[in-house]
Structure 1
Amino acid sequence: MTARPPTTQYEAATPAFEISDLVVRHGRVTAVHGVSISSPPGRVTALLGPNGAGKSSLLGVVSTAARPDAGTVRVFGHDVRDSPTAARRRLGFVFQERTLDKELSVERNLWFHARLYGMKRADARARISLLLDLFGLAHRRRQPVEELSGGLARRVEIARALLHRPGLIVLDEPTNGLDPTARATVWSDLLRLRDELGVTVLYATHYMDEAEYADEIVILRRGRVVRQGSVDRLKGGLESSRLVVGCADDEAAAQQLRAAGFEPLIEPGGVAVHCPDPEARIAEVVRALDVPVLAVSVHHPSMNDVYLAVAGEDAAAGPGEAPRRPEEAVTP
C-alpha cells in the first residue's frame, strides 16, 4: 500500500498544511488568535497544550468541519474555505470521540466510508483488504465493532481515515482513554505511516510523552503559539541542564565550586551546576572539589520542563486539565 504520490513538481513542493493568521471564534469567545504554522509532506506535527488552549478549534478548521473567522488554511494548496471538497479529499480525520457504527462489522464500517467518498467498488475492496492487513485486522473483518477493545477500535478508525488515500491525517487526542499498551500500538502505526508511506500527521495531545513522537511541536496557550520547534530545540532552549554532585559535605563543596568560578546551587540530590553541556564538565567540576564525592549525575530538561516554562499559570492545573481561569484563556 502506498500514499498517493505527488503528481507534479508543484504539488511535491506544496505544504501538506499551511495555516496563516488563523482566527476562530465561538460567539464572543476567541479560541484561536492569529496562529500560523505549516508542514511539508511526510512530517509529524503535535499540538500540545491544556484543555481550552485552542487545539480542537484549530483542528476543526483544518478538517473543514468549521470555518475560520479570519486567516487562511490550505491542505496541499486547497483553501478549506473556498475549496472544502478538494481539501477534504486530501485529508483523513480521526475524532477524539468514537465515531464507528458499533453494530456494524469492521469491514462494513470501511465500506460505508468508501461509499461516502465515491470510491469504485473494485478499488474500495482492494483498499479495505490492504488496510485490514496493514493494521492486523484481517481476521476481525466480520467482527462487530462493539466487540473490539478501545485500542483495536482506534486502529479501525485510523484505517478508515486512510481509505481514500489522503496525504494528511489529522487526529484529535488519538489515544485518549486507551491503556498504555494500546497507546504504544497506535503510535507505532502512526509513525509507520510517516516512515513507510510518507503520510503527514497532525495531532493534538495533552500527553507529554506523545508530543515527543513529533518532528515539530507547537505549544498552544490561550489560543496562541507560545513555543514551537523540534524536541531537541525546545529542550535546548531551557537553561536547566545540570550536573549534580553528591558529596560528604555539600556546603563545603558549594564553597569550593564558587571559588573555582562556578555558580552552584544546593538541592536535595547534592550540589547542582547548571550548564548546557554537563557531560563535558564532569572532570572539571570534580577536580575543583576537595571533599569526598559520593555520586555524580547528569540531568537534562524534559518536555514537562519545557511545558512548565511556557505554560505559565495554566500549568498549575496540569497539561491535561483546564486552565485555572478559563475565562481569561480567550478574549472577545
Structure 2
Amino acid sequence: MSYYDLLPGTYFDPTYAAVIKSLLIGDNVLLVSPYGFGGKTFFNFFLSRQKTIDRTIISWSNNLPVKTLLKQVKENHRRGTKQIVIMRQVEKIDDLPVLLEKLNDIRQPNPQNTSYLIITDHRGLTDIDQYLAGFNTFFSSRYLLGAFDFEKTTENIRANCLFFGWPYLPQNDKKVFQLSGGIPRLIKHIYKEINESQLTFEDPSAFLFDQSISFQLQYLADLIMKIDPNYLIKFGILDAKKKIKSELLAMFFSDLQVKIAKQNFAELTRAEAQLFSLFFSNPDEIISIDRVADFLSISDDDFSLWAVYKLIARLKEKIKSKYDLVNLKGRGYKLGFESR
C-alpha cells in the first residue's frame, strides 16, 4: 500500500473537495503550494483516487515532454472525451504563458470537456502574471495549500508513523507542531530525527543539522526575505501578528540574519543586522518603508515609524565604507553595491 493510500479521504479537505467540484464543472484550477507544503502529495493523492472521478485523468510533471502532453490532450478533446489534466512543477517551464495559451486553445469548442489542475509553487500567488494565457485569464479558481493546523498536523504524524513504522506518541504532537509550524516537510523530518537519530526536544537546535530540515528552512527564509508578509500569512508561515509560527524557522532565520550581517559588518546591533540582511538579500531592489517595518516586526516587537527611520540612519552610517543606502524620496531605500 502506498503512502497516499494511507491518508484519510478528508486529508486535504476542504481544499480537495473544492478543487474536485471546480474541475467537474469545467473550471481550470490553480493550486498554489510552496515547496514542502504538500503539492507533490496532493498530486499523488489525487491520482490514487482517480477511480472515484468520472473523468479521464491525464497526469504530467516536468520530466515529461510537453509536446506529448499537448498531442494526447488534443486528441482526447477532439473525440469528445471528458478529461482532467493534472500538472505539477509548471514553474520550471521556460515560457509558461505560451503553454497555457496552447492548452486553452485545445479546449475550444466545448471547454467544459477539458479542465486543468495545475499545481505550482509560491509564485502562483506572488507572480500571478506568469499564469495568464496571453491576455486571457486561464484559471477560474485558485486554491492554496498552507501550513497545517494542529489537527491536520496530528493526521500527518499518524500517516508517517504508519507508513514508516515509527511508534506514534501522542505526547509529541504539540511540540512537533510548535517546532514545525504545521509545515508538512518539517513535520515529517522532525519525527524522522526523533525516531531514527534519537534526537529529543531538549535541544531543538540539533534538528537544524538535518540536511532536509535545513534545506526547507533556507527556502522559507528566502521567502521571508523576498515576498510581502501578507502572502506569508496566507501560506501560514507567519501568524496574524506577522510572527514566524515555526520555532525552528524562527531560530534559523535569526541566525541567518546575524550571519549575513556579521560577514560584512561585525559591529552591527541585532536590529541593524536584521535590516542589513533585508537590503543585502534584495540587491538593487527598492524597499518601501512599510516593508522595512513589516520585516522588522517578524522577529521583534513592532517598531514605530520614527524608530525605523532612526535605525535606517544608523545602519547607513555604519555601512557607508562599503555600501550606499540610497533614499529614493517617496519610494523607499535601495542598497548600492558600489564601493566608495
TM-score after normalising by structure 1: 0.35
Larger Rg: 1
Question: Which structure: greater strand fraction?
Answer: 1
Instruction: Between the two structures, name the one with larger relative contact order (CA 8 Å, sep ≥ 6).
Output: 1
Question: Which structure: greater helix fraction?
Answer: 2
TM-score after normalising by structure 2: 0.34
